[in-house]
């Protein structure tokens, strides 16, 4: 497998490591949105959030608040974004599950560019029904 994050985890590539234990690694993003932009990554390879078992995801997300607090303190940020993408169409550029912690400053000129939509008629109720049905099919 030629996964850049797996290569970082295996110490085949350098990284500015922030935190590491037996399950999780965190390091600075090499192309930061803002300085201090940090990634939190499970050491086992999972491409998508949809692939990781809940217990392992819990190990990753358990450390997220502590790393986020450290990033905010070190960067003197006014706020932060924590986000995660799944698949190229959602902006995932490395096919290994990871969370971004991006320190934000009031006038940093970064924007997600979200465009919001409105449900019409019974579209919201139909979507709710479809998602509830899909939950039953995935075993929840």
DSSP string computed for 72-123: HHHHT-SEEEEE---SGGGT--SSS--EEEEEE-TT-------------TTH
Cα distance between residue 110 and residue 106, in whole Å: 10
The pairing of beta strand 79-83 with beta strand 24-28: unpaired
Average pLDDT per 10 consecutive residues for the chain, totaling 140 residues: 93 97 97 97 97 96 97 97 96 97 95 90 96 86
Which of 76, 87, 84 has its CA nearest to residue 42?
A: 84
Active site residues: 98
DSSP one-letter code for 10: T
CATH topology of domain 4-114: HIT family, subunit A (3.30.428)
Cα distance between residue 129 and residue 17, in whole Å: 44
């Amino acid at each position: 497998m030629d996964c850049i994050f797996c290569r970082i985890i295996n110490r085949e590539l350098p990284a500015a490591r922030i935190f590491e234990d037996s399950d999780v690694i965190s390091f600075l993003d090499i192309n930061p949105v803002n300085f201090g932009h940090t990634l939190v990554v499970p050491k086992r390879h999972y491409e998508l959030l949809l692939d990781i078992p809940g217990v392992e995801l819990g190990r990753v997300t358990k450390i997220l608040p502590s790393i986020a607090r450290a990033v905010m303190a070190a960067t003197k940020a006014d706020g932060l974004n924590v986000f995660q993408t799944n698949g190229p169409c959602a902006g995932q550029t490395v096919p290994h599950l990871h969370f971004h912690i991006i320190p934000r400053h009031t006038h940093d000129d970064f924007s997600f560019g979200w465009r919001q939509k409105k449900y019409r008629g019974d579209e919201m109720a139909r979507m709710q029904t479809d998602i509830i049905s899909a939950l039953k099919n995935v075993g929840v």
